[in-house]
Structure 1
Amino acid sequence: MTDPAIVLIGPMGAGKSSIGKKLARALGTTFTDSDGLIVRDHGPIEQIFTEHGEARFRALEREAVDQALSRGGVVALGGGAVLDPDTQRRLGAHRVVLLTVSEQTVASRLAGTRRPLLQGEDPVRRWREVSESRRQLYESLAAARFDTSTGRIQDIVDAIAAWAQEGTP
């Protein structure tokens, strides 16, 4: 097995992909986005949800997470990837970072979203419901937590990199 990955988890809109790319660069390692693997191999996530349903998407997501974790480096997981019990077990072998974001900040990040779980009249209310339903799980899986609501993205990346370089699994 490769070295343990640094795995970014958290709610939709927390910045897992954008921070993950910069973090991998800062640490001189690879970056893999589980949602990116799904899109590359199976097409747009919205289309998978529409044509095949959430259960099929979650099965594809589990495969993508396994692939991403086996690569090591920095891995960003989709917000709901942690719902899978096998994924939860696999995360025990990795360094898991929870990225959080305030509702006020995420409102601007989700403007015009096409995310399947946020469709409807009030995407921010739906985000709140989904995020709150997963909060305890996120917290139980994470070894560290960083808020992405304010401040420069580079400062957040630097703080996570410093944590990662401490070497504590």
Structure 2
Amino acid sequence: MTERAIVLIGPMGAGKTSVGKRLAKELGLSFYDSDAAVVREHGPIDRLFAEHGEAHFRALERGAVRAGLAQGGVVSLGGGAVLDPETQRDLSAHRVVLLTVRPETVPSRIRRTRRPLLQDEDPVARWNALYEQRRETYERLADAAFDTSVGPLQDVVTAVASWVRGDTA
């Protein structure tokens, strides 16, 4: 069996990629981003949505998630990846960290976004709706949660690393 990964989940704009890269470096582990893997293999996500639809993207994403979990290390998942029932089952074998962000912090993080699900007249309202739809799933799957809304990003990385090492409860 593969070593248990440290999996970062949460809404768009929570900092999963930024925290994940730094966390992997701090822990001396590899880093894998499921969205980046899809882009590398299949092209830009916004184009995949436009040309093939969300269902096609989600199937590609599922394959990327499976590959990342098999690799181990620190794995960052796209915001909607946790909607897949197989992914939810797979996550039970790993350490899952939920990164949260307060709604009032979101506008500055999603400004000028190309994220397909936020291409709406009011991207912030759309983000809030998506987060509310997914919140229970995020919370149910997570072993620990850390907020990324304020303070230096390194503080979040340090807190997550301490949790991974068992330094904190």
Deviations 1:105-161 (A, max 9, x none): 111000001100001111000000001100000000000000000011001000000
| Residue in structure 1 matched with residue 91 of structure 2 by the alignment | 91
Does 2:82 match 1:82? yes
Deviations 1:2-22 (A, max 9, x none): 210000000000000000000
Structure 1 stretches (4+) deviating beyond 2 angstroms?
Answer: none
| Residue in structure 1 matched with residue 144 of structure 2 by the alignment | 144
Shift of 1:167: 8.4
TM-score by length of 1: 0.98
Query: For 1:113-152, what aligned pairs fall within 5 Å after superposition?
Result: 113-152=113-152
Compute the RMSD of aligned alpha carbons: 1.1
| Residue in structure 2 matched with residue 154 of structure 1 by the alignment | 154
The whole-number CA distance in structure 2 between the counterparts of 1:106 and 1:19 is: 16
Does 2:45 match 1:33? no
The whole-number CA distance in structure 1 between the counterparts of 2:119 and 2:167 is: 40
The amino acid of 1:48's aligned partner reads: L
Deviations 1:41-71 (A, max 9, x none): 0000000000000000000000000000000
Paired residue total: 168
The whole-number CA distance in structure 2 between the counterparts of 1:167 and 1:50 is: 45
SS at match of 1:97: strand
The whole-number CA distance in structure 2 between the counterparts of 1:113 and 1:91 is: 28
Indicate the percent of aligned positions where both proteins have the same amino acid. 65
Does 2:60 match 1:64? no
The amino acid of 2:135's aligned partner reads: R
Unaligned runs of 5+ in 1: none
